[in-house]
Structure 1
Amino acid sequence: MRAGPREVAVAFLQKTGAQHESLVRSSRRGQRREPAIATLSISGPYGVDGSGDTPSRRRIFTCDPSNGVMANACADEIFTTLARRAYRRPVTEADLAVLRPFYEEGRSEAGFERGIQRGLERILVSPEFLFRIERDPANVVEGPYAVGDLELASRLSFFLWSSIPDDELLDVAVSGQLSDPSVLQGQVERMMADPRARALVNNFAAQWLYLRDVTEKEPDPGFFPSFDENLRQAFQNETELFIDSVLREDGQVTDLLSADYTFLNERLAKHYGIPHVYGSHFRRVSLAGTERRGLLGQGGILTLTSYATRTSPVLRGKWILENLLSSPPPPPPPDIPSLAETTDEGEALSMRAAMEKHRSNPACASCHSQMDPLGFALENFDAIGRWRTRGESNETIDATGVLPDGTAFEGPDEMRAALLKHPDRFVGTVAEKLLTYALGRNLESFDMPAVRGIVRDAAQKDYRFSALVLAIVQSTPFQMRMPQS
């Protein structure tokens, strides 16, 4: 096998009851034992002659002194290329002066390539690489000012790609054209179409929806023996692929709640009770005839808003208020009693009856009157996202509720429709969350006019996802900053 990137996969091709103990590991401490790969070892290379040839090596060694190029000039060329990408700006003679002693030291140890290695190591520990440094111009006046094109390029690339600007974006910024609105829009469209924009989906979804918390949830195996690591990973893949599809197809932001499709593999389809899906690969599947539309029907969201042994209308309602309506409830007052699960006579209470008893406490009623109806609408989904018609106490599920504005609903479909009666509210929440992600800081009251402007701009284009992203990039908080001195 020649040197270069390779994809390696490991799987149990045949499941038996006689697997060797060394291949059986508990995936989670204290839980049941499941087949798992303990280690994977790859040996080699053998009989190496020379340094080999890989894509990453070719990106580093843009010249070769063995081809008649002077070694020091070649080193400067390599460092200029690498440092320009790493520092996200043109490289100065002062930058090269810092790197040359490291190159000379490495070259004296083991030749040209060791010298390049030492210089590259110095680049990778430079504050210019490790931090996004935005310096105030010398002539800055009091009050906000527009960031320079190079700073704007870094903001844009870390927002959309979670990585450094590529050569094209950096070239445009160096030329001073990136602040031109038409040029900026063109770069946003190009970057959104690039596969690297998947980082926006994965990282934003994890931050906005708390999707990373799925990895920490531990449904009780006594109550949910079918839950395993494959299902946990499928939950996360489903949501990421779903959001990515809305972005790639430039769907409406409201599709995140109302889309009648999702992405399933065989394991997840069986969990949802959806037939005719086979194999481990994920594919787009219609949800027609089900109540799983959008994010609120996805197992990952439903699991992370449940307890280990049961659902929680409170957690689910709170999650909706925080993440879909941008109306987080206040923290609970101290010394609030825990939820009573039985009557005074010791009989099991249904979830709705237990919550009604809890709301009889005036200190609890004000918040729970907002959270609970939203959570009850999802009670037909159990604590790991399966559809059901009876609750934990074997009672018939009552999924009715009333919003604070008086809108009555029953079940997830009607609640979803009620939430989307005023789409600007949901889109405004997504705009807040996405702007927070783009800026890398919490929003303040003075950011709210910009949020409202972003929503208005997106509304003119039917709340398309591309319109929302472009409006954020064009917004005052994204393009300007306050002096720090």
Structure 2
Amino acid sequence: RDGTLTDDGLAAQVDRMLADEKVTRFIDDFPRQWLQLHRLGMFPPDNTLYPDYDVWLEASMQQEAVRYFREVFDNNLSIDQFLASDWTMANPRLCEFYGLPEPAKSGFHKVSLQPEDHRGGLLTMGAVLGLTSDGTRHRPVHRGVWVSEAIFGTTPPPPPANVDPIEPNPPMSPKATIRQKLEAHAHNASCAACHRGIDPLGFAFDQYDAIGQWRTRERVESGTGEDPLVDPSGVFPDGRSYADAEQFKRLLLDDRDRFLHAFVEHLCTYGLRRVLTVDDREAVQAIVEQSRQQEYRLKDIVRAVALSDLFRRR
């Protein structure tokens, strides 16, 4: 005997680890890295604009995302649940913020969602919507970049160094949404190519403000006239269109294999503690193929990663 584990022996060890309480460390740590939760609160929301935002709400938002991940993991649900669902994990503070019926007990509980709640999945959680804002206003480009990185595994190139920032609305001009300003900005030839790929990934969430609250009109602090209606529609570069965040989520579900590939790469990067290279592609693709056959179930995906050649030859 050379001390190496057989395939069955290694699988048994991985199963034991996944059932052990110590897996909580992974459950708590991985979604924070994957979803970039450390960015929440980096730009504290303006108290005069968002008086309902406080430290408890921010902590609750972070916990919602982590506990949601745990629920999907513990029940070996499909990673489709990360894109769209009819439930979330919420405490009384989050229920109040989202306008949901408060649970009978304190602490976090699984809460059912209705279409009129405008929630479901990770992308419409307060944490994700908040970390992609700047404390005073929502940022469609930041939200688009986040979707590109977290959901599709692609980091867009940085903007050119000489690009002018989006200016506040002039006091004597009609109020304009950030989207309207971005669309004018994107007419610049040096900006158009990147914005064509990023903006449709962020516009879908324009009905959520800087702290993730639902609204139909965008509050514009300067300018004339009433606050303008939000337009959450968009068109992907491939021509597919959506009317709002819910239709956007359905398009993401159509791209579930692309999401699966990106998610496996995020898991491998986390587990290996290094950036993946061209040499890793074959092993990653093998994990993706196996995970597809196992109906995209989260715990099965984690198991496939742990048993893959990537980790056997570390």
Question: Normalization by structure 2: what TM-score?
Answer: 0.93
Q: Tell me by how many angstroms 1:278 deviates.
A: 4.7
Aligned residue number for residue 291 of structure 1: 118
Q: Distance in 2 between matches of 1:458 and 1:310?
A: 39
Deviations 1:76-108 (A, max 9, x none): xxxxxxxxxxxxxxxxxxxxxxxxxxxxxxxxx
Deviations 1:257-284 (A, max 9, x none): 1222111111110100112335531111
Aligned residue number for residue 305 of structure 1: 132
Q: Which residue among 324, 330, 334 is the counterpart of 2:157?
A: 330
1:125-136 correspondence runs (5 A): none
Q: Which residue among 245, 264, 267 is the counterpart of 1:412?
A: 245
Aligned residue number for residue 197 of structure 2: 370
Contact persistence 1:341–1:348 (CA under 8 A): no
The code of the aligned residue for 1:403 comes to F
Deviations 1:151-207 (A, max 9, x none): xxxxxxxxxxxxxxxxxxxxxxx9935x31112222222221222212112111111
Aligned residue number for residue 267 of structure 2: 434
Deviations 1:210-230 (A, max 9, x none): 112224340111111111110
Q: Is residue 178 of structure 2 the alignment partner of residue 351 of structure 1?
A: yes
Q: Which moved more, 1:200-209 or 1:271-280?
A: 271-280
Higher relative contact order (CA 8 A, sep 6+): 2
Q: Distance in 1 between matches of 2:285 and 2:7?
A: 20
Aligned residue number for residue 229 of structure 1: 55
Q: Which residue among 71, 86, 92 is the counterpart of 1:245?
A: 71
Q: Distance in 2 between matches of 1:304 and 1:175?
A: 50
Q: Distance in 2 between matches of 1:230 and 1:182?
A: 46
Deviations 1:288-334 (A, max 9, x none): 22321100111011100011101010000000001101122111111
Q: Which residue among 29, 32, 35 is the counterpart of 1:203?
A: 29
Aligned residue number for residue 341 of structure 1: 168
Q: Which residue among 217, 236, 254 is the counterpart of 1:390?
A: 217
The code of the aligned residue for 2:133 comes to S
Aligned residue number for residue 299 of structure 2: 466
Tell which structure's C-alpha radius of gyration is larger.
1
The code of the aligned residue for 1:311 comes to H
The code of the aligned residue for 1:227 comes to Y
Q: SS at 1:284's partner residue?
A: strand
Q: SS at 1:216's partner residue?
A: coil
Deviations 1:338-377 (A, max 9, x none): 0133369644321221111110111111111111111110
Q: Does the C-alpha gap of structure 1 residues 328 and 288 become closer, same or farther in structure 2, counting only changes over 3 Å?
A: same
The code of the aligned residue for 2:154 comes to S
Q: Does the C-alpha gap of structure 1 residues 474 and 265 become closer, same or farther in structure 2, counting only changes over 3 Å?
A: same
Q: Distance in 2 between matches of 1:280 and 1:222?
A: 29
Deviations 1:51-72 (A, max 9, x none): xxxxxxxxxxxxxxxxxxxxxx
Q: Does the C-alpha gap of structure 1 residues 432 and 473 become closer, same or farther in structure 2, counting only changes over 3 Å?
A: same
Q: Distance in 2 between matches of 1:338 and 1:400?
A: 23
Q: SS at 2:179's partner residue?
A: helix
Q: Which residue among 277, 281, 284 is the counterpart of 1:448?
A: 281
Aligned residue number for residue 3 of structure 1: none
**What percent identity do the matched residue pairs reach?**
36
Q: SS at 1:438's partner residue?
A: helix
Q: Which residue among 236, 239, 248 is the counterpart of 1:403?
A: 236
The code of the aligned residue for 1:404 comes to P
Contact persistence 1:262–1:285 (CA under 8 A): yes
1:35-434 correspondence runs (5 A): 176=3, 179-289=5-115, 290-342=117-169, 346-393=173-220, 394-434=227-267
Instruction: Report the aligned-residue RMSD.
Output: 1.7
Q: SS at 2:22's partner residue?
A: helix
Contact persistence 1:311–1:383 (CA under 8 A): yes
Q: Does the C-alpha gap of structure 1 residues 216 and 350 become closer, same or farther in structure 2, counting only changes over 3 Å?
A: closer
Q: SS at 2:89's partner residue?
A: strand
Q: Unaligned regions of 5+ residues in structure 1, if any? A: 1-173
Q: Does the C-alpha gap of structure 1 residues 249 and 228 become closer, same or farther in structure 2, counting only changes over 3 Å?
A: same
Q: Distance in 2 between matches of 1:195 and 1:381?
A: 36
Contact persistence 1:341–1:349 (CA under 8 A): no
